[in-house]
Chains A and B, each alone.
Chain A
Amino acid sequence: MAWETVIGLEIHVQLTTQSKIFSGASTRFGAEPNTQACLVDLGFPGVLPVLNEGAVRRAVLFGTAIEAEIARRSVFARKNYFYPDLPKGYQISQYELPIVGRGHVEILLENGERKRIGVTRAHLEEDAGKSLHEDFHGYTGIDLNRAGTPLLEIVSEPDLRSAREAVAYAKKIHQIVTYLGICDGNMQEGSFRMDANVSVRPVGQEEFGTRTELKNLNSFRFLERAIDFEVERQIDVLESGGEVVQETRLYDPQKDETRSMRTKEEANDYRYFPDPDLLPLVIDDAFIEETVRDMPELPEARRRRFEEQYGLSAYDADVLTATRAAADYYEAVVAVAGDAKLAANWMMVELYGALNKAGLELAESPISAKALGELVLRIADDTISGKIAKTVFEEMWQSGRSADAIIDEKGLKQITDSGAIEAIVDEVLAENAQQVENYRNADPKKQPKMLGFFVGQVMKKSQGKANPKQVNELLRKKLE
């Protein structure tokens, strides 16, 4: 039987506010345990929450970016359950009336087509703390620094039909939130966390199969592998006459499998009700206008602009706008170098090649955008040749010094004095009289190829510094 996969994602995005969603404690990552947990975060008797404006504005930015309806009135509710990393015994979240309503994003499929994926809703809520399971003589340690960090939970429609599509969608959301600057996108630190609801159904069947919820997917690779494993598992279960159990499953990256979470927990009964400590959140047009006025350019718009303004191919524009960091880097290179196409080539080929080889992210590049721009500028203004530039690039990568300093010190400056080049050309022609003779007698179609020999000889004699363009021109003239 042929099966169709149905996937919906729930993505938890930590927002980049300075302080927590309901308290004035810092959200900075990596502090000593419980040093950023104030009375409100700890749920002390008598404390009360007050909503952070920064979190609301970030939710509005996201909603606007995915063309969703921003709820003029939304309500915070309590989700009640007991867990040690949940200090109050309830999580403040939004339930019936979320701040961001139905929206959508577009993903690029492998066949080059674009597919629209629905976003059901996005709501504000508070993050929980962390349980540390290292051995404290049979105890678990609780660190509540993360408790109260603002989260935007983005829920997709069950529109995704493969693990690949799920990854493309997750990457698109990641791209949007980082472009907007509402999330730092750091997956290692848990700033962007994904859960997947996965089910399968026979092709052609209307109703959905029973779904399982996959947790602990903290990279795009794990997301893809977990879904692939789970789809296989569900199909195996169904094809051997079994039934899929609706449950939460944990992905184990070591074993590359999903397993049922061993809880004898009763069917969850979260007893949601409106939080009486918080009032309805009412947003007016002025608030939205003020928020979106400084909205950063979104990936789609920036891609189109790169094509138009810099004359880049669709492919190059896509690569260079993949992340906001890349697009910002690229534009900083162009600002210095001037030549947009040359800048694109150098960034995508040399820089990305070197980063890839070293296993580094763009943010960790030893060569800054300005430094790369200066190098590209020296190629563009004929100070050095592209070939020499590769040597300079390597030197810059190693030493962190500027292109100009390296060119100066090593005397790599290109020879552009036509007299000097002519002298070398004449020398080469004189030394290779037989080849000159052959060239002149050859079929004109073969001549360009034969010219390469003379160019090589000239470059060798000039230690690579002669301007190749000028050399070519002179040789052609003299060999006529």
Chain B
Amino acid sequence: MSELHQKSLRELGEGLAAGAFSSVELTEHFLQRIRNHDPALNSFITVSDREALRQAGAADERIQKGEGGPLTGIPLIHKDIFCTHGVKTSCGSRMLDNFISPYDATVVEKLADAGMVMLGKANMDEFAMGSSNETSYYGPVRNPWDTERVPGGSSGGSAAAVAARLAPAATGTDTGGSIRQPAALCGITGLKPTYGRVSRWGMIAFASSLDQAGPMARSAEDCALLLSVMAGFDERDSTSVDRPVDDYLAALEQPVKGLRVGVVKEFFGEGLDSGVGASIGEAMKVLEGLGVELVEVSLPHSRYSVPAYYVVAPAEASSNLARYDGVRFGHRCEDPKDLEDLYKRSRAEGFGAEVKRRIMIGTYALSAGYYDAYYLKAQKVRQVIAQDFRNAFDQADLLLGPASPEVAFRLGEKSDDPVSMYLSDIYTIAVNLAGLPALSMPAPRAHGLPVGLQLIGNYFDEGRLLNLAHQLQLATDWHLQTPEGFE
């Protein structure tokens, strides 16, 4: 029984189907682990234990009737950015501390329909704005590999919980690296799909043209299982793509010999920690051993991705977050003296410092007289960056680089310097601007801490990404390593 939390999703599904353990037992096992270990990590905002056990009971019935699918009865956690009917959905913010969502996000609905059991809601940077999980109203999440360090962000709770084996799987969202960077820093596998592949309905918006939900789990195979359910057209989301979902599980087994993988020159320059660089180098050697052909490619304008992102994302956010006004839901200040006071104090009290900074930057970038210099300019830079990728994919099937320039940094190390924090997403942001799929998976550790290998695919090429990651994981055990104390 003690090994349950070390099993892959496929193994858990097989065990449930064979009756080796029930979903209720499995769920109780994870709830117990959460009770034991989460106080040290703070990876949960809400643990929905009663509802989880109810769902587990229903899953067991489904399995007994032979109506279960591959994920029926398996627990997971949702990033608290996804609306969950009847369950608090805070988005890591005081603004929504009292918000019980009256509806489910499409992602939540789909995973529930597949029979998955929700253990609770994962901690996150407030409104997904952050790279360290330190902007959460609910306090920072700690990295299970070293609790003095950050887990990355914004999906830090999801990454830490999966790394600590408090849940076998989690959902995350990635606007500028928020799945890949915490996956890297916590040593798990996380995939950001192509923009439009997974519905955004019910996923609280940060930057609408960049946000994309994806799976976070221990292996590429786990991610493939989850993505098979999460992906797909949704008529409630105008930006959802009406296109069949590929068979990701079948893709896992494709041969990788002869695959051309582009090594992004710009991701190995100044600013990259040498330990991280060496780790990525080691992973590259294994890839070559698998018959993969490595070629050098260039994304010459990638250094402009962070500047462009910090216009586009805040601009969209400044508008998306205008609905939090203390009128229909969310925080409302005490005794507003007039309408303006209601707005200004409710918002000032409800939002944390980083969210306010970004709202202000975005407001400024869109305001009269600055629109062309900032917003329009950023959209043009975005086009240049997307063109870089188009050129690179003329030479390679997939691209490769580190997911983060360094391993997990210490709590508080960057929290006083927004710009240095922003630069920790330097290798992930360009992908969001272009709308491409990418994943981060464990490479050999450096300085005793996890390192993320980033693979970037062409549009809708999630299958090939998962394929290469899976083949690399079959040949290595980096993704199986568990932080001490959480085995």
Interface residues of A (CB under 8 A from B): 39, 42-51, 78, 80, 82, 84, 87-90, 142, 269, 271-273, 276-279
Contacts and interface: CB of A to CB of B under 8 A. Distances in A.
Q: Which label, helix, strand, loop or mixed, suits the secondary structure of the B interface?
A: loop
A89 B238 contact: no
Given A45-B99, A271-B367, A82 B205 contact: no
B272 interface: no
B405 to A, nearest CB: 28
B205 A46 contact: yes
A329 B82 CA distance: 55
Contacts of B89: 45
A276 B203 CA distance: 15
A48 B238 CA distance: 8
B486 interface: no
B237 interface: yes
B319 A89 contact: yes
B368 A269 contact: yes
Contacts of A273: 315, 319, 366, 371, 375
Given A82-B322, A90-B319, A276 B328 contact: no
Contacts of B328: 42-44, 87
A47 B238 CA distance: 11
Given A46-B202, A88-B323, 8 more contacts: A43-B328, A46-B83, A46-B203, A46-B204, A50-B235, A269-B368, A271-B318, A273-B366
B202 A80 contact: no
Given A89-B322, A273-B366, A39 B200 contact: no
A44 B371 CA distance: 27
A84 B257 CA distance: 60
Contacts of A43: 323, 328
B366 A51 contact: no
B91 interface: yes
Interface string B236-248: 1111000000000
Contacts of B200: 46, 48
Nearest to B210: A276
A458 to B, nearest CB: 78
A271 B327 CA distance: 22
B298 to A, nearest CB: 29
Most buried by B among A44, A50, A276, A279: A276
A50 B323 contact: no
15 contacts: A39-B103, A44-B101, A45-B99, A45-B205, A46-B203, A48-B238, A50-B238, A51-B238, A82-B325, A82-B343, A84-B327, A90-B322, A271-B363, A273-B319, A277-B208
A276 B316 contact: yes
Contacts of B102: 39, 44
A240 B183 CA distance: 73
B105 interface: yes
A45 B204 contact: yes
Interface string B374-387: 01000000000000
B367 A89 contact: no
Nearest to B105: A46
Most buried by B among A78, A82, A90: A82
B250 interface: no
Interface string B173-188: 0000000000000000
Contacts of A277: 205, 208, 238-239
Given A39-B102, A45-B204, A87-B328, A279 B238 contact: yes
Interface in B361-410: 363, 366-368, 371, 375
B408 to A, nearest CB: 30
Contacts of A269: 367-368
B99 to A, nearest CB: 7
A271 B319 contact: yes
B366 A276 contact: no
Given A82-B343, A89-B319, A48 B236 contact: yes
A47 B209 CA distance: 14
Most buried by A among B238, B343, B368: B238
The 6 closest A-B pairs by CB, nearest first: A89-B322, A271-B366, A276-B208, A276-B209, A43-B323, A46-B202
B351 interface: no
Interface string B219-261: 0000000000000000111110000000000000000000000
A326 to B, nearest CB: 41
A80 B363 CA distance: 10
B339 A45 contact: no
Nearest to A49: B238
B329 A44 contact: yes
Interface string B198-220: 00111111011100000000000
A45 B91 contact: yes
Interface in B333-348: 339, 343
A294 B325 CA distance: 45
A51 B236 CA distance: 10
B434 interface: no
B96 interface: yes
Nearest to B329: A44
Contacts of A278: 238
Interface in B73-112: 82-83, 89, 91, 96, 99, 101-103, 105
A52 to B, nearest CB: 12
Contacts of B205: 45-46, 277
Contact of B237 (A48, A84, A272): A48
A161 B363 CA distance: 40
A84 B322 CA distance: 11
Contacts of B238: 48-51, 277-279
Contacts of B322: 80, 82, 88-90
Contacts of A80: 318-319, 322, 366
A368 B416 CA distance: 78
A87 B366 contact: no
A91 to B, nearest CB: 11
A75 B116 CA distance: 39
Contacts of B339: 84
Nearest to B375: A273
A290 to B, nearest CB: 21
Interface in B286-302: none
A78 B315 CA distance: 11
A142 B237 CA distance: 27
A453 to B, nearest CB: 81
Contacts of A78: 319
B116 to A, nearest CB: 19
A269 B319 CA distance: 13
Contacts of A50: 235-238
A25 to B, nearest CB: 14
Most buried by A among B96, B105, B205, B363: B205
Nearest to B207: A276
A334 B375 CA distance: 62
B327 to A, nearest CB: 6
Contacts of A271: 318-319, 363, 366-368, 371
Contacts of A88: 322-323
Contacts of A276: 207-209, 239, 316
A148 B102 CA distance: 20
Most buried by B among A47, A90, A279: A47
A18 to B, nearest CB: 17
Nearest to B201: A48
Most buried by A among B101, B237, B239, B325: B325
A44 B82 CA distance: 12
Nearest to A267: B368
A263 B201 CA distance: 37
A78 B236 CA distance: 19
A84 B332 CA distance: 14
A198 B21 CA distance: 78
A80 B317 CA distance: 12
Most buried by A among B235, B321, B323, B371: B323
Interface string B6-25: 00000000000000000000
Contacts of B202: 46-47
